[in-house]
Amino acid sequence: MAALLGPKKLLAQHVAYFYNAVLLLRLEFRLQTILFSENTILLIVKPIFSVFKRKAGLATTTPLVLLS
């Protein structure tokens, strides 16, 4: 998802919508059937957060806590 959205001309709000409406729903479904470690979940979510940071014009060193 991050590879598809990265080069597109989208606003940060669009990326946030895709994250909330698509990625979180898929993760929620998978978490009902499979137990993931926290590190695995971060590996899944981290690329889309980096796209969001870039689209929002935030520094790459911005902590993930500010985005959630």
Q: For residue 60, what are the contacts with CB-CB under 8 A and spacing of at least 6?
A: 50, 53, 54
Distance separating alpha carbons of residues 60 and 29, to the nearest angstrom: 29
**Total number of domains constituting the chain:** 1
Q: How confident is the model at residue 63 (pLDDT cuts 50, 70, 90)?
A: confident
What is the residue range of 42's domain?
A: 10-66
CA 63 to chain centre: 13
pLDDT digits (tens, 9 = 90+) for 23-61: 888 888 888 888 888 888 888 888 888 888 888 887 777
Its pTM stands at 0.55
Tell me, yes or no, whether 4 lies in a domain.
no
